[in-house]
Amino acid sequence: MSWVRIWVHIVFSTKNREPLLKDNLRDYVFDHIRQTAKERNIYIKSIDGWEDHCHCLIRLNKDESLNTLVQQIKVESTTWMNKSNLIKGFEWEDDYLAVSVSESNLEKVIHYIDSQSEHHKFKSFDEEYKDFLEYFK
C-alpha cells in the first residue's frame, strides 16, 4: 500500500499581475477554488492572497502531477469567473511558483498564507516574489 504526503506551497498571479481580486471578490473566488478542489479530491489546507495573486498550501496525492493540479485549479477558476461575469476576460498568468513544505513547517506556512492581507500592506507582490526566489534558490 502506498502512502504519500507531500505538501506544496503554490503561488500564481493574475495575468500581467493586474489587481483584479479586490476585497470580497477575492474571498469569493478563493472559496470557490477551495470548494471545487474538494469536489475533485484536491486537498487545499490553506488559500489566500491579494489583489493580484493567490497562495495555496496543497497536499499532493500519490497519483497527482503538480503541473496538472495547478492547471486544473487555474483553468476551472478562470472559466467559472468568466462564465459568472465576475471579471470580464479574467486570466491567471501561465507560470507559477511551487516549493515543498515539510510537516514541521506547516503551521508557519499556513500563518504566512492566512496573513496575506496584513503582509501586503507593506510589501508588493513583486517584492514578495523576488524574496521567494532569493530565499529558495
Looking at the structure of the chain, the number of domains it has is 1
Q: What is the pLDDT of residues 13-60, one digit of tens each?
A: 999 999 999 988 999 999 999 999 999 989 999 999 999 999 999 999
Cβ–Cβ < 8 Å for 21, 63: no
State the pTM of this model: 0.91
Residue 136, classified by CB atoms within 10 Å of its CB into exposed (0-12), middle (13-18) or buried (19+), is exposed
43-50 and 53-60 beta bridge pairing: antiparallel
Question: Which grid coordinates belong to 95?
Answer: 507560470
Question: Positive or negative, the Cα torsion across 22, 107, 59, 128?
Answer: positive
136 domain-assigned:
no
106 domain-assigned:
yes
Q: What is the pLDDT of residues 68-78, one digit of tens each?
A: 999 999 999 99
137 domain-assigned:
no
Q: Containing domain of residue 96, as a range? A: 6-131
Query: Which residues, in sequence order, are CB contacts of 41 under 8 Å at separation 6+?
Result: 61
